[in-house]
């Protein structure tokens, strides 16, 4: 395992209720991010401490947050918010990309092509060889157009994070 991978796996996040889209972008990068559905500092802190997570929040003037690791997100756009997180924690967005379910925040497992027959559109089945499944919701992922679009987004985020 490279140093970069270790770093990415170690950092876990909890996103406040204003940061649902950012949360999904981080999961796309393979990062562990729970969506809190709250912006109440005490509740965020509770989750952060219990599960050893960094709080991501849009609330700017919160002094109570000093009792936990946190990052105050400045931008309104999820894309730019992702750049803020990537910069702050020195994350490579592509290193562990697409290893986690975007809906459930659960690591994906590889599945045999035969096992997804009939569960994915037949043109996908014919043209792809690598499939992954979320053990929680059963959603099947594959390398394809949709994923390539998402990869482009992550590449843009990576580029953006390297700008001075």
Please give the C-alpha separations between residue 153 and each of 15, 89, 100, 114, in angstroms, as whole numbers: 20, 19, 16, 30
Of 68, 73, 101, residue with least CA distance to 85: 73
**Residue 91 in contact with Zn ion, rule: CB under 5 A:** no
As measured in angstroms, the least distance from the Cβ of 102 to Zn ion is: 8
**Residue 127 in contact with Zn ion, rule: CB under 5 A:** no
Question: Distance between CA 79 and CA 81 in Å, rounded?
Answer: 5
When binding is defined by CB under 5 A, the residue of 48, 55, 134, 154 that contacts Zn ion is: 134
**Residue number with CB closer to Zn ion (12 or 139):** 139
What are the residues whose beta carbons fall under 8 Å from the beta carbon of 28, sequence distance 6 or more? 97, 98, 100, 102, 150, 153, 154
**Residue 157 in contact with Zn ion, rule: CB under 5 A:** no
**Residue number with CB closer to Zn ion (99 or 161):** 99
Span from 39-47, 89-97, 99-107, 156-164 in contact with Zn ion (CB under 5 A): 99-107
Residues that bind Zn ion (CB under 5 A): 101, 103-104, 134, 136-137, 139
């Amino acid at each position: 395992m490279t140093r970069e991978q270790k770093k990415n796996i170690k950092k876990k996040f909890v996103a406040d209720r204003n940061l649902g889209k950012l949360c999904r972008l981080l999961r796309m990068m393979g990062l562990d991010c729970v969506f809190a559905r709250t912006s109440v500092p005490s509740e965020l802190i509770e989750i952060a401490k219990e599960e050893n997570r960094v709080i991501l929040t849009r609330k700017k003037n919160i002094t109570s947050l000093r009792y936990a690791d946190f990052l105050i997100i400045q931008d309104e756009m999820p894309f730019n918010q992702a750049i803020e997180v990537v910069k702050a924690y020195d994350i490579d967005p592509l290193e562990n990309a697409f290893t986690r379910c975007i809906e459930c925040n659960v690591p994906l497992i590889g599945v045999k092509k035969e096992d997804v027959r009939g569960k994915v559109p037949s043109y996908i089945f014919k043209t792809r060889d690598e499939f992954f499944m979320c053990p929680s919701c059963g959603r099947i992922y594959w390398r394809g157009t949709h994923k390539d679009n998402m990869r482009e987004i992550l590449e843009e985020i990576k580029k953006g994070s390297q700008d001075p």
